[in-house]
Amino acid sequence: MKKALLVLLAFVVCFSCTGCALLGVYFSSSTNSTEQNLPFDDEGGEDQATSDETFGMGDEMEFDGLTFTAMEFKQLGSGGIFQPAEGKVFIGVRFIVENTSDEEVTVSSLVMMSSTVDGETVTESISAVGAFGSKMLSGTLAAGDELTGWYCMEVSRDWQSFEIEIRPNLFSTEKATFVYER
């Protein structure tokens, strides 16, 4: 019993510390086309992100020294030991995040990114990330470093469109949205 309470307390402390560290992370937005597997919507940003700006595959978005670039889209029916539920598939977008600031920055897709598929809110899927054989888009970046990872979801096999919204921090009204339609 004491061991379980100690583990629970350690989890709560770690989660609280991580959440506090993530509140100050920021991102940005400009356009740069690079590798494309399947295209996102053509709309791209060219200046600083505004509250309703949308982006496509290869577009860069920059918030305060962090640059996000959507590099690749994939859909998987299965991924080794990771299997989607009946009637579902895994979809994912590979992002590169570059820290162009002079300071160390923490990035977390769980805190800074949200998604909708066909108008319904969908959470990031750990099983889908495993199926893609990659890591989540989370970590600490030193000045000048890059992080590559997947933002993945488990969705209906019949999905038509999705949006991934990125906010510079948990409480920001500023956002940029990557849009994809079949």
Return the pLDDT at 22.
35
**How large is the average pLDDT for residues 88-115?**
92
In tens, the pLDDT along 17-63 reads 434 333 333 222 323 322 223 334 444 433 334 446 788 888 888 88
Query: Looking at per-residue confidence, does 151 or 19 come out higher?
Result: 151
Task: Return the closest-CA partner of residue 151 out of 103, 92, 97, 106.
Answer: 92
**Residue span of the structural domain in which 73 resides:** 25-181
Domain membership of residue 129 (yes or no) is yes
Is pLDDT of 103 > 70? yes
pLDDT at position 48 is: 39
Structure confidence at residue 1 (pLDDT) = 56
CATH number of the domain enclosing 85: 2.60.40.1240
Asked whether residue 16 carries a pLDDT value surpassing 70, the answer given is: no
74 within some domain: yes
pLDDT of 88: 94
Average pLDDT of 65-72?
A: 89
* Domain contains 13: no
What's the mean pLDDT in 119-141?
A: 89
Q: Which helix or strand (DSSP H or E) is residue 7 part of?
A: helix 2-22
Structure tokens at 172: 């920001």
What predicted TM-score, i.e. pTM, was given to this entire model?
0.68
pLDDT at 2 over 60: no
* Domain annotation covers residue 120: yes
Q: How many domains does the chain have?
A: 1
Q: b vs e for 148-174, b when ≥16 Cβ sit within 10 Å of the residue's Cβ?
A: ebbbbbbbeeebeebbbebbbbeebeb
Determine the average pLDDT of the residues in 78-91. 88
Q: Which residue has the tokens 């999705």?
A: 162
String of DSSP letters for 130-154: HHTTS-BSEEEE-TT-EEEEEEEEE
- From first CA to last CA, the distance across the chain in angstroms is 51
8 within a domain of the structure (yes/no): no
